[in-house]
Amino acid sequence: MVKKPPKTAEPPPGSQVMTIEQALQTAYAHWNAGQQQQAEHLCQQVLAVWPENPFALHLLGLLAHSFGNLPLAVDFLRRACLSPSSPDDFHSNCAEIMRQTGLHQEAEAAARRALAINGGNVGAWTNLGIILQEAGKLEESLQALIRVCQLAPDNAEAHNNLGNTYNRLKRLNEAKSEYEAAIRLNPSYAHAYSNLGNLLKELGQLEAALTQVRQAIELDPHYADAYINASAITRALHRPAESLRWLENVLSFAPDHPGALMALAITHREDENFPAAEQAARRAVALLPQSGDAHEILGQVLHGMNRTDEALAAYAQAQTLPMPNPAGPLEKRAVLLHELGRKAEALEAYQSALEINPRSASLWFNRSDAKSFSANDPDIQTMESLLQDGEQQGLGLDDRTMLSFALGKAHLDAGQDDRAFAYLAEGNRLKRQSFDYDPPAVERWLQEIAETLSPAQIERLKGHGDPSALPIFIIGMPRSGTTLAEQILASHPQIHGAGELRLMQSMIDQITDLNGRLLGYPGLITGTAPEDLQRLAQHYLARVSAMAPGKARVVDKMPANFLFAGLIHLLFPNARIIHCRRDGVDTCLSCYTRLFSGEQKFAYDLAELGRFYKDYERLTAYWKSVLPADRFTELVYEDVVADQEAETRRLLDFCGLDWDEACLSFYELKRPVRTASVGQVRKPIYKTSVGRWRKHAQYLGPLLRELGGAETP
């Protein structure tokens, strides 16, 4: 909150009293009338006579701020505040503009100086509360903003700001009440509608959230944060094209908006458009070099590009800067260290992050993956208390889901199966209620894929793809051994493991007809001309070959590519497709115990999971029947466990590569692993996961009934 200039004070004795006084009063009048150039000219005249006149310097600072020159504005305001006669509003305005420049430590000091002069300055309390909020000092921010609401109970902005701090403290019920109070006080207050929409997203009420954000945009079509929130909500609704359009809209009228650029970087990262993601992230850092958020997001982009040293450096830089969630960079660092197999360092980073933010559900969730729990582990009680307290305080849907899955994993580790499956049931229930899923429609769709990619259709398009043998596709159900297969292959010196690439899905989702309408899969196959295959294949190869120059093969380990196996063969007739299989009940149980980062809608209900598994089995059996045996093979997890070397030799022969002993020591390979199997592939082959479901059969009734024929102990 920047307040307009106050009346001037008397200059020192002997100066040109009337001339300076009149000049300043006239300058203020020009400022209030929007005549900045005239105001600036008069201020410069005053400074020519009285070089450090605090009132002229203050007004020049506000003028520089209005022109968007924040460094110059800060310089003028710093000088203005050096005068003993500077009133409280000078210090308060200086604090706000320093905050906008990212100078949070100086800004906090300036706001506190304002309050030392006048403890009833509402603007100074407001600025202090927001500064503390952005610096992650949330409890102090809360007290400052409560004070604002006490001093100005009918101020809608005050309630909105207080709601923001409650929101960041995960006290969502209180945040919602404050946003609603702000809207009651000012029904045209776009910021409050947008913030309420963002909060409803956290509560899992996505359509209601989008309604609130649309209202904000209708009230203020140039309110950038509302567009950013709309983008996040529509991405949560699995509408990626619409999500990107919201960001393009805001950047069309605010091309240098740092928040929009940060959101764009994350969006492109999730779509694996890494060059665009890095460009957006670096623009945000250049605009806000003192923003911890900007450096953290750059770190996430570099992390996604496997530039791990640079990512760790970006996270370290973010840790030194003010930001609303100071634990965030530490958490991202811990996740990356865990992916790299540096488990002890990861756990140390998680612990440091929890000391900063002990109520973070994502921290407890991610840490649970890196740690083994015993029956008396105090962390279990802490997480249970957080979940119980959070339910009373309106903890968000995502946070409750994460804590439930973390507790399910912890109790499984501790051998407390009743409690484990109670928490897993709750976590799955919460996740399942956050999206729509139609099992019969999915069954029909998978049948349609097989019918559309018929032997006749495959014959029509055969031979028109790209002859490259660079790609190796590993497909199958999640948790079926796909990560193990990739780690074995990536240990070979001629193979690069690229991880789970969304590239194939992304390409298919963008195919349109001549009128620009999305064709959809598998319908697009009927309209595909032979030359289209070559174009798509070359687009894929251009992206993938850049990931591993000099390598003979690149592994794309996206399990869901089992949907596209027929099309993949048409695009790359010399590519190898490896279908990973594992005992169906073990596979489904492992899915049920995981909260996936990607979209696996079939995985959060035991009956739906079993039904999908049968649909998947039918489709992959069809691919096996129609694709050449020298291009499509199956790798059975239990066979790898029984005879690792024999299956590894068979796999390398299938890929056309010579034997290499390193593939037997896959667990020694130093590369990021980003799947739920990160812990397993850091160890030699072990047998305890074979038939794991049998000791948990009593909790799996709906799954066993759907799969049929599964024997109970």
pLDDT digits (tens, 9 = 90+) for 692-708: 999 999 999 999 999 98
Q: Examine the pLDDT at 528 and tell me if it is beyond 60.
A: yes
Tokens linked to 172 = 């969502």
What pLDDT digit, counting tens, does each position of 390-419 carry? 776 678 888 999 999 999 999 999 999 999
Q: Which helix (H) or strand (E) holds 236?
A: helix 224-236
How many percent of the chain have pLDDT more than 90? 66
CA distance linking residue 539 with residue 25, whole number of Å: 65
Average pLDDT of every residue of the chain: 90
From residue 454, how far is each of 145, 450, 460 by CA, in Å?
65, 6, 10
The amino acid present at 701, given as its one-letter code, is G
Q: Structure tokens of 150?
A: 């006490």
**Beta-strand pair 576-581/632-636:** parallel
Domains of the chain: 439-707 (3.40.50.300)
Alpha-carbon span 30 to 24, nearest angstrom: 10
Tell me the two tokens of residue 72.
């110059």
How far is residue 14 from each of residues 19, 20, 46, 148, measured CA to CA in Å? 12, 12, 15, 42
Least Cα distance to 615 among 440, 472, 367 occurs for: 440
User: Is 294 within 8 Å of 266 (Cβ atoms)?
Assistant: no
Which of 145-159, 199-213, 295-309, 508-522 shows the lowest mean pLDDT across its residues? 508-522
Residue 29 has a pLDDT of 83
- Cβ(379)–Cβ(353) below 8 Å: no
Name which of 322, 318, 270, 311 is nearest 131 in CA terms.
Answer: 322
| Pairwise CA distance, residues 401 & 403, whole Å | 6
* pLDDT single digits (tens) 629-651: 999 999 999 999 999 999 999 99
pLDDT digits (tens, 9 = 90+) for 351-385: 999 999 998 999 999 999 999 999 989 999 999 99
| Mean pLDDT within 483-509 | 91
- Quote the CA–CA distance of 144 and 262 in Å, as a whole number: 28
Sign of dihedral through CA atoms 213, 215, 216, 222? positive
State both tokens at 229.
């929130």
Q: Which two tokens stand for residue 409?
A: 């994993």
- pLDDT tens track for 216-247: 999 999 999 999 999 999 988 878 889 999 99
What is the rounded distance in angstroms from the CA atom of residue 698 to the CA atom of residue 703? 11
User: Residue 684: its pLDDT value, please?
Assistant: 66
Name the nearest CA neighbour of 562 among 636, 489, 478. 478
| pLDDT at residue number 39 | 87
547 against 611, higher pLDDT: 611
**Tokens at 106, concatenated:** 């100086």
Mean pLDDT of 194-216: 94
pLDDT at 3: 59
Q: What is the pLDDT of residue 627?
A: 97
Q: What pLDDT score does 558 carry? A: 95
Distance separating alpha carbons of residues 652 and 643, to the nearest angstrom: 15
The pLDDT confidence band at residue 36, using thresholds 50, 70 and 90, is confident
